[in-house]
Amino acid sequence: MNQKSLAQKMAKYALEKKALDVLILDLRKLTTITDFFVICHGESTQQVRAICEHVQDQMEELGVRVWHREGFENLSWVLLDYVDIVVHIFMPETREFYGLERLWGDASIEKIRDEE
C-alpha cells in the first residue's frame, strides 16, 4: 500500500471517531521531513484520545506501528509519527493557534469527508 493510501486510511479512521475538519496535506514537493500530514480535531479531550487510540489500533492491525507519539499527556495536540505520515489530532483552539494549514499553505490539501 502506498503512503497516500495509508494517509487516506488514517483520515477515515479518524472520521470513524467523528473527527472534525479532516485534511491530508501532501508535503512531498515541499519538505523531506515527511510526505503527508493528516490533520483533524475533536471537541473534547476524550474525543481526541479516542481518535488517537483508534487510528493507532487500526494501523497496528494493518501491521503499521507508530514510530513516535507526543502530546498524549494533555491531549490538546497529539502527534502520531509514522515517519512518512504524521497525524495531528488537535483540540479546536490549539489547532487554530498553531495553524498548520496556514504554515503549509503551499501543500496540496485534500479534505476528507464521511460518506454517510
CA distance 90 to 18: 13
Q: Could you report the per-residue pLDDT of 46-90, keeping only the tens digit for each?
A: 999 999 999 999 999 999 999 999 998 999 999 999 999 999 999
CA distance 32 to 77: 22
Write the burial class of residue 29 (CB in 10 Å: 0-12 exposed, 13-18 middle, 19+ buried).
exposed
> What's the DSSP call for residue 41?
E
What range defines the domain where residue 92 resides?
Answer: 3-98
Is 106 among the domain residues?
no
**What is the number of structural domains in the chain?**
1
For the chain, what is the mean pLDDT?
95
Q: What is the CATH number of the domain that holds 42?
A: 3.30.460.10
What phi and psi, each to the nearest 5 degrees, are found at residue 47?
Answer: -70, -40
pLDDT at residue number 114: 80
Is 113 among the domain residues?
no
Grade residue 1 by pLDDT with cuts at 50, 70 and 90: confident
Q: Say what the pTM is.
A: 0.95
pLDDT at residue number 116: 55
Q: Could you report the per-residue pLDDT of 88-103, keeping only the tens digit for each?
A: 999 999 999 999 999 9
